[in-house]
């Protein structure tokens, strides 16, 4: 197999890597795409695609769990095959199977191909993703342990699934498997589910899950497993607790970046606990070495795609000034109810604004007409905005289609469209998006109804320093 | 019962009337609200609310049709009672039951209350709504005829429902009743369903409905009914056709404004075939007489609410200059798939722009990752935009949550946010909203990849007159 010289070498064919490879190749660059395993990375194979397929199919009460899991694998395999074919057929992409190691700036060695292979390129993009963080539970047999890498390989839904970690993966899989008839015990060391969302969202999701019969154990950690009786031992705030009859334990407590064996140290690429350190353009500290996706600690497919596009722009058009704020990245969790948010977190807002300068608005979907017709009990739209001006700082949506609604709020934040302006928008009736309009109306009514007071509050608080120590990460 | 003097008299307590009454009352005006029948008008009683409740409940395959209809009535009645209570308890609203007639500018007589009642006010708002347009079908017994006014009173879903009219009501009820097990024959005189939407949307909905076993007969009209065998006789483009075994016929061929008996002629308020003529602020030609809602020919609840708010603004703050474009009104149809659109129609675009100045973009949801995971076969996002600048002129969404997505597109149109700008927005993955981002990407790629050509096309076509006669209503 001949060695080769390319314009760029992309290490890892997940979402971030594919975005960069296809983007550069589409602009005429010759790209080597190195992947040791399947095309599409976690997203296609063990993340977004199989999980969303599972969530969708689990809504059909007539479907058998084993058939659902088989369909999930077929869908995923079909997409993986399509992506592989597209990469193989792309005239400017050379797909190379194997493990890549950066041997010096501009040089990569691929192990796996017979005899190895040496590649060179002016640009190297590291997109090696992440893997599930492991957890040792004394006494738990390996065959009972699942991560997102094994979950979709199950022949049938387990009878009783304990899930450690109530983040995005844990919540989504708890909801989907519960619908397939699996008994779920969901455990998190934090005192609320989805600690990256606002507490109101955590509460809504937790309430909905408990209503659905999911056993939620918060502030707890697993201390051991007793095979006789299949008992998972927990340490909870109320003391020790035993959960019996557990068939499988899904470990979903976070991700570890795949930084090992890449030769990063050798070329001087800096890494931290969340992965490779990059700036907002995907640049590492080493010229010609970039990183994108989970390996940088940014764990959502759309964030990887967005950074990938910025990398393509910098590599293909280096003479363009690197201007433009980095785009707003929304977050979305496809639990039931869905949760999505965008903009500043409450902690970041507290770090920037005095409390009196910000107003918190909330409209419960249950109080809207569409919420009434569609029996929505746990959904809401919450918006933090600057008093008087109505500039939106952050927003969260919980409920049906929350991940769709957040696009509207993201545009309003990005284009600095005030709530006063949104209150003039006409929303189709009856829709959940109308709740955004209603929050805007509430703001407009309160503001215009007390203009002198609001103006005085604004003047008093807007330019004050926030409380010291109010910033949270 | 004492006569009375008010700041405003609102005739009709449907969506438009309630918006004006509550809006003015909230600003301290004394409002007489006259309603001859139920609170909430068509929306609450025979329109949006019962239809959306029916659509929601019909998705549960385990629910019995009769139970669904009983629930629909209970939901509607509960909302009606709440709205009635709110109006009764409002300190600034006097709810008067009866039929109102304008006797002279500023004076209204209400029949129905014992002895009648005379009211006076500086402002009179007509919000009397509309009713189903009737159609005489020779031989069809009255007890087999349904309109939206009777439909939700059925004890159980009919075995075979023929629907005349494939507009919003016809499509929504066809989809919902089909899910409840009713055999549906859907007939329209036009050659496509939903003729107010773009043809692509009509085609997608028609295909989806046919896949679902709904018998769609287009370009056809009903010529008679033979009770023996319950045969509906149709004249179709392929010749006469008999549809046997029809239990009920739902007439959904349009609406007639309720303009009769109001004394409109007497005070000089002008009406046309679509109803009372009003300007963009709800003003009739007669000072102090306004109209809102279906009676003006504008047939969507959110359009009525929007105009109602503008009327409140003019009445309560007459010294404010009547500035500001009228808001963009989206359209939404809750068929399966949903259809929603906003902005200029293709006809209006053809009347304003030379064809070479406009680009039509379309992204099929089936080609997106969320479409793949969720088996979306008939959905798409279509956008008409100005070449080069990417200004969005009109947009249509078809598919799950289309009525939610349209809010995002409406904001982009209203704030003149270019597709070039939208292509920089990051959409949560995997969502249907991402298809909007993909359309924007397609536009950006085509435009930036051929900037000289696009600029030349823009210069050549943008300021040319469109083809004569290209405007369609």
pTM: 0.95
Fold agreement between A142-251 and A337-461:
no
**Tokens 């493990």, residue located:** A99
What pLDDT sits at residue A64?
94
Burial grade of A30 (CB within 10 A; 0-12, 13-18, 19 or more): middle
What pLDDT sits at residue A321?
86
A 45-104 near B (Cβ less than 8 A): 48-49, 52-53, 55-56, 61-62, 75, 79
What pLDDT sits at residue A89?
97
* Rounded Cα–Cα distance for residues A304 and A297 (Å): 10
Q: Please check whether residue B432 touches A, CB under 8 A.
A: yes
Question: Chain A to chain B, count of Cβ pairs less than 8 Å apart?
Answer: 166
pLDDT band at B472 (very low <50, low <70, confident <90, very high): very low
> Is B337-461 assigned to CATH 3.30.390.30?
yes
| Nearest residue of chain A to residue B426 (CA atoms) | A329
What pLDDT sits at residue B467?
61
pLDDT band at B115 (very low <50, low <70, confident <90, very high): low
B48/chain A closest Cα distance in angstroms: 7
Q: Please check whether residue A323 touches B, CB under 8 A.
A: no
CB contact under 8 A, A373 and B305: no
CB contact under 8 A, A404 and B433: yes
pLDDT at B114 over 80: no
CB contact under 8 A, B62 and A61: yes
CB contact under 8 A, A373 and B52: yes
CATH superfamily of A4-130+255-316: FAD/NAD(P)-binding domain (3.50.50.60)
What pLDDT sits at residue A24?
98
pLDDT at B473 over 60: no
- The stretches in chain A having pLDDT less than 70 are 1-3, 113-115, 466-473
What pLDDT sits at residue A1?
39
Per-residue pLDDT, averaged over B18-25, amounts to 98
B 335-364 near A (Cβ less than 8 A): 340
Q: Which residues contact B152 (CB under 8 A, 6 or more apart)?
A: B46, B50, B54, B69, B72, B73, B76
A-chain residues near B374 (CB < 8 A): 52, 56
CB contact under 8 A, A411 and B417: yes
Other beta carbons less than 10 A from residue A450's beta carbon? 12
A-chain residues near B432 (CB < 8 A): 404
Using DSSP's 3-state secondary structure scheme, residue B434 falls into helix
Q: At what angle do helices B402-414 and A402-414 cross, to 10 degrees?
A: 10
CB contact under 8 A, A302 and B428: yes
B200/chain A closest Cα distance in angstroms: 21
Strands A380-386, A358-364: pairing kind: antiparallel
pLDDT at B142 over 90: yes
The structural domains of chain B, with segments of one domain joined by +, span: 4-130+255-316, 142-251, 337-461
A 205-224 near B (Cβ less than 8 A): none
| Exposure string for A337-358, b = 16+ CB within 10 A, e = fewer | bbbbbbbbbbebbbbebbeebb
A48/chain B closest Cα distance in angstroms: 7
**Tokens 């009770």, residue located:** B227
Mean pLDDT estimate for chain B: 95
Do A447 and A390 touch, CB atoms closer than 8 A? yes
Which residue among B327, B370, B436 sits closest to A52, beta carbon to beta carbon?
A: B370
B 6-45 near A (Cβ less than 8 A): 15, 43
CB contact under 8 A, B408 and A406: no
CB contact under 8 A, A403 and B431: yes
Rg (CA), chain A: 24
CB contact under 8 A, B52 and A301: no
Nearest to B184 by CA among B211, B221, B203: B211
Q: Most distant CA pair in chain A: distance in Å? A: 78
Using the 8-state DSSP alphabet, how is residue A134 labeled?
P
How far lies B463's CA from each of A155, A302, B315, B460, in Å?
63, 39, 40, 7
What pLDDT sits at residue B61?
87
Q: What value of ipTM does the predicted structure carry?
A: 0.95
Phi/psi for A457 (5° steps) reads -60, -45
* Rounded Cα–Cα distance for residues B255 and B148 (Å): 11
Helices (H), A100-245: 148-151, 168-179, 199-211
Q: Please check whether residue A438 touches B, CB under 8 A.
A: no
Least-confidence region, from A104-118, B70-84, B308-322: A104-118
- CA-CA-CA-CA dihedral for B398, B404, B410, B412, to nearest 10: -100
In CATH, what is the architecture of B142-251? 3-Layer(bba) Sandwich (3.50)
Q: Please check whether residue B373 touches A, CB under 8 A.
A: yes
What pLDDT sits at residue B2?
46
| Nearest residue of chain B to residue A429 (CA atoms) | B302
Q: Which of A334, A373, A445 to mutate to test the interface with B (most CBs of B within 10 A)?
A: A373
Q: Please check whether residue B108 touches A, CB under 8 A.
A: no
Phi/psi for A290 (5° steps) reads -125, 160
Q: Which of B401, B404, B422, B448 to mutate to test the interface with A (most CBs of A within 10 A)?
A: B404
Nearest to B53 by CA among B81, B78, B75, B70: B75
Which residue among B372, B414, B421 sits closest to A79, beta carbon to beta carbon?
A: B372
What pLDDT sits at residue A436?
98
A89/chain B closest Cα distance in angstroms: 19
Q: Which residues contact A400 (CB under 8 A, 6 or more apart)?
A: A337, A338, A374, A376, A379, A432
pLDDT band at B463 (very low <50, low <70, confident <90, very high): confident
CB contact under 8 A, B330 and A434: no
B310/chain A closest Cα distance in angstroms: 10
Per-residue pLDDT, averaged over B2-14, amounts to 90
Q: Please check whether residue B441 touches A, CB under 8 A.
A: no
Using DSSP's 3-state secondary structure scheme, residue B100 falls into strand
Q: Please check whether residue B302 touches A, CB under 8 A.
A: yes
What pLDDT sits at residue A473?
40
pLDDT band at B363 (very low <50, low <70, confident <90, very high): very high
């Amino acid at each position: 197999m001949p060695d080769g010289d390319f314009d760029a070498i992309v290490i890892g064919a997940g979402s971030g890597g594919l975005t960069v490879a296809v983007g550069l190749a589409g602009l005429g660059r010759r790209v080597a795409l190195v992947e040791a395993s399947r095309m599409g990375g976690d997203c296609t194979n063990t993340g977004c695609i199989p999980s969303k397929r599972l969530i969708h199919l689990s809504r059909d009460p007539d479907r058998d769990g084993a058939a659902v899991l088989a369909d999930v694998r077929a869908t995923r395999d079909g997409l993986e095959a399509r992506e592989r074919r597209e990469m193989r057929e792309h005239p400017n992409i050379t797909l190379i199977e194997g493990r890549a190691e950066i041997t010096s700036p501009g040089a990569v060695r691929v192990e796996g191909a017979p005899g190895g292979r040496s590649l060179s390129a002016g640009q190297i993009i590291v997109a090696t993703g992440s893997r599930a963080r492991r957890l040792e539970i004394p006494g738990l047999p390996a065959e009972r342990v699942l991560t997102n890498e094994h979950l979709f390989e199950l022949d049938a839904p387990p009878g009783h699934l304990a899930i450690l970690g109530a983040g995005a993966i844990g919540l989504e899989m708890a909801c989907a498997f519960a619908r397939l008839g699996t008994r779920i015990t969901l455990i998190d060391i934090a005192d609320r589910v989805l600690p990256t969302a606002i507490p109101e969202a955590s509460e809504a999701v937790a309430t909905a899950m408990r209503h659905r019969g999911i056993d939620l154990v918060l502030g707890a950690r697993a201390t051991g497993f007793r095979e006789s009786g299949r008992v998972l031992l927990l340490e909870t705030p109320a003391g020790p607790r035993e959960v019996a009859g557990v068939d499988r334990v899904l470990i979903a407590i976070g991700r570890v970046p795949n930084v090992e064996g890449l030769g990063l140290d050798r070329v001087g690429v800096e890494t931290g606990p969340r992965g490779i350190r990059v700036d907002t353009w995907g640049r590492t500290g080493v010229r010609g070495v970039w990183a994108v996706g989970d390996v940088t600690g940014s764990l959502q497919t759309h964030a990887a795609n967005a950074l990938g596009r910025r990398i393509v722009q910098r590599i293909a058009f280096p003479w363009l000034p690197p201007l433009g704020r980095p785009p707003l990245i929304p977050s979305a969790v496809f639990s039931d109810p869905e949760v999505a948010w965008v903009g500043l977190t409450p902690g970041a807002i507290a770090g920037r604004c005095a409390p009196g300068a910000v107003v918190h608005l909330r409209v419960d979907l249950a109080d809207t007409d569409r919420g009434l017709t569609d029996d929505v009990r746990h959904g809401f739209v919450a918006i933090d905005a600057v008093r008087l001006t109505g500039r939106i700082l952050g927003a969260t949506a919980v409920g049906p289609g929350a991940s769709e609604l957040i696009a509207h709020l993201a545009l309003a934040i990005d284009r600095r469209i005030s709530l006063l302006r949104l209150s003039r928008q006409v929303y189709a009736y009856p829709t959940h998006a109308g709740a955004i309009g209603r929050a805007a109306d509430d703001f407009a009514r309160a503001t215009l109804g007390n203009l002198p007071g609001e103006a005085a509050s604004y003047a008093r608080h807007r330019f004050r320093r926030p409380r010291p120590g109010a910033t949270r990460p």
